[in-house]
Chain A
Amino acid sequence: MMENVIELQHVYKAFKGFELKDLSISVKKGFVTGFIGGNGAGKSTTIKLIMNLLKPDSGTISIFGMDYKKNEKEIKQRIGFVFDSNIFYENITLAEMKKIIKPAYRKWDDTLFNQYIDMFELPLKKNLKTFSKGMKMKASLTIALSHHAELIIMDEPTSGLDPIIRSELLNILHNLMQNGERTILFSTHITTDLDRIADYITFIHNGQHIFTKEYYKIEEEFAIVKGGTNLLDRDTEQEFIGIHKTNHGFRALTANKQRTKNIFGDTVIIEKPTLEDIMLYTKKGEERC
């Protein structure tokens, strides 16, 4: 059996106007898990629960097989984090920021830190508030990677970044995964970022876990189906997660490609879905109900 680095079991968390319902998610060791869902689906809340920034109303959360009540510091020693917004003090330099963070980690590695600084061409002596969004993300990533973290948690690290920096980031993450010991949890709503690096996809919607699947299986199971609206009736519509109808025909998402093929045969066109399609049609399907 494969080892789980993160395990959430039956987690509930309620806020005003939002709740996570019976969330059970696991993240496998040695892989990149892409964490997707629309705005307000509960991605950030889930990540905060994983980081112990929030406590669940009920349910259990275990990281590296340990629980936060007893092993908070031990767990956090082994996590590197990147958030979507800058969380560093703004009025100091990156060198000073390092001075603040370094003593917190047992395995801090200055050589590694300097390597990333050189690679990203980050200025050490400039105030962090003068950094661009891309530079801030790189600074954040540098700190996250300089203490040999086994688990790297990233909450929307690519949001607001230009394609070149996003591509750089993805390359680095790809290289990080070579030794098989590291685990990355990467939340995003720019789903194309995940095409290149994700092994698993975890999808949540409205505070509920929809699925966790190996990326390649998604393409095997799900499909976009296109055809004439005359093919749709009460029964056939049940085959789809969500349907988009126009005057020219319909476009729908199925979670059972083979069955759909058997039912419709050559009357429809079947295409590969993108993650975006899956998110979009799940939302549509819900509106239909």
Chain B
Amino acid sequence: MLNLIRKDMILQKKTLPFMLLFLFVYLFVNVSTSWVAIVFCIVIIMNAFQTDETSSANLLLNSLPYTRKEIVSSKYIGALIFIFLTLLTIFIGNWMIHREIMQWEILLFITSIVMGLISFAFPFSYLFNSKYLLIGFGGVFVVYMVTLSFIPNLNDRVRELVQTVLSLDNSLFYLGIILSVGLLYVLSWILSIRIYSRKVF
């Protein structure tokens, strides 16, 4: 299975250093580090996902001695590696440019957000296609807006909730985040294996 992750690296070989360099440059400009990191992670991970979405790639991978479980799992583990690489670059970049050590809370925050988004994006893309992701997110947004019209103070309530959670004992709060994101990721993983196992090529 590590071979499959290595394959993603080989396929991204041309774009990955370029992307990471790009990321480095971004750090000079005063934009939110978290925002940039999240966008980069998602772009790199989904780019790797899309390369294997064609029917020919599926034909190839499934004809090689791999199981479908391994093919899906390689994407989930690979995503974690891509997150790590991106954060490492940002970490080093921040240290070199701004002479500051990034707070681990921020790293945790970025990782959680990306893992959370991937947990929805992967099963969705296996079921339909990643090109519908944007439409999917649009749909979610519409649902949100409609809900907003029924519960006008939804935004305030969410803000309130976040505040309450944040005011909790810190270590407990972080543990909770790690556990729930981890659980979400694993559930998404299992779901994706199920969806992929039933696919027809």
Task: List the interface of chain A (C-beta within 8 A of B).
Answer: 48, 51-54, 72-74, 76-77, 79, 81, 83, 85-89, 91-92, 96, 99-101, 103-105
Contacts and interface: CB of A to CB of B under 8 A. Distances in A.
B63 A76 contact: yes
Interface in B6-26: 6-7, 10-11, 13-14
B64 A104 contact: yes
Contact of A54 (B56, B65, B201): B201
Given A53-B201, A72-B67, A73-B67, A92 B10 contact: yes
Contact of B65 (A96, A99, A105): A105
B67 A51 contact: no
Contacts of A85: 56
Nearest to B64: A104
Interface in B37-60: 51, 56-57, 59-60
Contact of B62 (A52, A91, A92): A52
Given A87-B57, A89-B11, A53 B6 contact: no
A29 to B, nearest CB: 20
Given A104-B65, A105-B65, A99 B59 contact: no
Contacts of A51: 62-63
7 residue pairs, one from A and one from B, having the closest CB atoms: A76-B65, A103-B3, A87-B56, A87-B60, A73-B65, A100-B7, A104-B64
Interface of B: 3, 6-7, 10-11, 13-14, 51, 56-57, 59-60, 62-67, 200-201
A168 to B, nearest CB: 23
Given A53-B59, A81-B63, A100-B3, 10 more contacts: A54-B200, A76-B64, A76-B65, A86-B56, A87-B60, A89-B51, A100-B6, A100-B10, A103-B3, A104-B66
A54 B10 CA distance: 28
Nearest to B51: A89
A87 B59 contact: yes
Contact of A99 (B10, B56, B60): B10
B30 to A, nearest CB: 35
A136 B182 CA distance: 43
Contacts of A73: 65-67
A76 B57 CA distance: 16
A125 to B, nearest CB: 14
A127 to B, nearest CB: 11
Provide the main secondary structure of the chain B interface.
Answer: helix
Contacts of B13: 96
Contact of A48 (B65, B66, B201): B201
Contacts of B60: 87-88
Contacts of B65: 72-74, 76-77, 104-105
A51 B59 CA distance: 10
A146 to B, nearest CB: 13
A285 B29 CA distance: 76
Contacts of B11: 89, 91-92, 100
B62 A53 contact: yes
Contacts of B6: 100, 103
Nearest to A86: B56
Contacts of A76: 63-66
Contacts of B200: 53-54
Contacts of A105: 65
B154 to A, nearest CB: 43
A96 B18 CA distance: 19
A101 B6 CA distance: 11
A53 B63 CA distance: 7
Contacts of A104: 3, 64-66
A116 B3 CA distance: 24
Nearest to B67: A72
A96 B10 contact: yes
A77 to B, nearest CB: 5
